[in-house]
């Protein structure tokens, strides 16, 4: 962690001087990690892509076309957990440790204390909660319209446009909240022996101390994931690993040891 303005949040010091240039540096470092060990990045991204395709075709076959909008909007909530293995790849490369499938996949179990798995449960619950919220928003605006979820025509009506507007705002606020608690906490759980509550506190403190830069990072992540999802999720095979590795390097820039 570079010298600069810091805040002490036990058990870590949190930088409060992140700059846009740090985002560029993190992306460049993430690209180098991906090029050095592409097989790991492609493996974890493929899991995400296959899951996305399954979700897409399952909804398509059932005729619930309109559910693709909230499902696609909420799907990135799961990306941070998928990226845990990528954080371990970056950590081991940075530390000069040997790379192996056993070590990288083992990162998903955390340090034997189930803290990362607990965060994973939170993210999956968040995704399910968002789908329920989206259903509630649909019921509020479209219950009396006579248009079902099987038709995209609902988005061409006044209630449908308002539903999309409200859903976008609510979804964005939920996504921002979960971004704030995961952007630092998950790489921190890979890096250190801390409980997930402490990691969440440090993550929130980091976002609070660097609002503009980390909001810009959130927008960059959301935009990149959205564009990468358009060609049947295939763009995620590159975008997801690079963003995952980059998030590790941004974490390393933002969070240091207490008193450092």
**Domain assignment present for 22:** yes
Closest CA relative to residue 174, chosen from 247, 74, 78: 74
What is residue 222's predicted lDDT score, i.e. its pLDDT?
86
Query: CA-to-CA distance for 183 and 204, rounded, in angstroms?
Result: 9
pLDDT category, 40, cuts 50, 70, 90? very high
Looking at residue 232, its pLDDT comes to: 75
Q: Does a structural domain hold residue 71?
A: yes
For the ranges 97-101, 111-115, 133-137, 171-175, the maximum mean pLDDT occurs at 97-101
Give me the percent of the chain exceeding a pLDDT of 70.
81
150 SS3 class: coil
User: What pLDDT sits at residue 77?
Assistant: 73
What does pTM read for this prediction?
Answer: 0.83
**92: domain range?**
6-132+180-256
How many angstroms separate the CA atoms of 30 and 246, rounded?
A: 4
Is the residue at 19 inside a domain?
yes
DSSP state for residue 20 in the 8-state scheme: H
Report yes or no: 74 and 171 within 8 Å, Cβ to Cβ.
yes
Instruction: Please indicate, yes or no, if residue 82 is contained in any of the structural domains.
Output: yes
Q: How confident is the model at residue 2 (pLDDT cuts 50, 70, 90)?
A: very low
Higher pLDDT, 211 or 77: 211
What is the predicted pLDDT for the residue at 56?
74
Residue 95 lies in a domain: yes
Q: What is the mean pLDDT of the chain?
A: 83
Is 173 part of any domain? no
Q: Is the pLDDT of residue 3 over 60?
A: no
Q: How many domains does the chain have?
A: 1
Look at 55-59, 69-73, 171-175, 177-181 and tell me which has the smallest mean pLDDT.
69-73
pLDDT attached to residue 19: 96
Residues 134 and 145: their CA atoms lie apart, in Å, by 17
Q: Which of 13-17, 76-80, 172-176 has the lowest mean pLDDT?
A: 76-80
Full strand arrangement of the beta sheet holding 6-9: 6-9, 12-15, 255-256
pLDDT at residue 4 above 70?
A: no
Residue 212 maps to a domain: yes
Q: What is the reported pLDDT for 121?
A: 85
Is 41 within the bounds of a domain? Answer: yes
What's the CA gap between 177 and 25, in Å, rounded? 25
Q: Which is more confident, 230 or 46?
A: 46
Q: DSSP character for 100?
A: -
The answer to whether 11 touches 258, Cβ cutoff 8 Å, is yes
């Amino acid at each position: 962690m570079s010298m600069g303005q810091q805040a002490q949040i036990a058990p870590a010091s949190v930088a409060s001087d992140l700059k846009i240039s740090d985002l560029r540096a993190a992306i460049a470092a993430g690209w180098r990690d991906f090029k050095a060990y592409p097989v790991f990045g492609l493996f974890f991204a493929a899991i995400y892509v296959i899951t996305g395709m399954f979700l897409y075709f399952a909804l398509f076959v059932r005729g619930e076309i309109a559910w693709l909008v909230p499902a696609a909007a909420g799907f990135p909530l799961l990306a941070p957990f998928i990226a845990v293995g990528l954080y371990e790849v970056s950590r081991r490369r940075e530390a000069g440790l040997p790379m192996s499938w056993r070590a990288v996949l083992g990162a998903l179990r955390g340090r034997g204390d189930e803290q990362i798995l607990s965060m994973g449960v939170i993210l999956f619950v968040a995704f399910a909660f968002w789908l329920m919220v989206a259903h509630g928003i649909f019921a509020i605006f479209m219950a009396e319209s006579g248009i079902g979820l099987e038709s995209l025509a609902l988005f061409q009506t006044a209630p449908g446009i308002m539903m999309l507007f409200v859903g976008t705002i609510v979804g964005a606020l939920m996504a921002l909240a979960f971004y704030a608690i995961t952007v630092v906490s998950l790489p921190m759980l890979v890096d250190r022996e801390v409980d997930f509550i402490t990691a969440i506190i440090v993550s929130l403190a980091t976002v609070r101390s660097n609002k503009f830069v980390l909001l810009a990072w959130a927008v960059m992540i959301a935009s990149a994931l959205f564009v990468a999802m358009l060609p049947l999720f295939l763009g995620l095979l590159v975008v997801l690993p690079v963003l995952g590795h980059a998030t590790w390097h941004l974490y390393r820039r933002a969070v240091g040891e207490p008193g450092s």
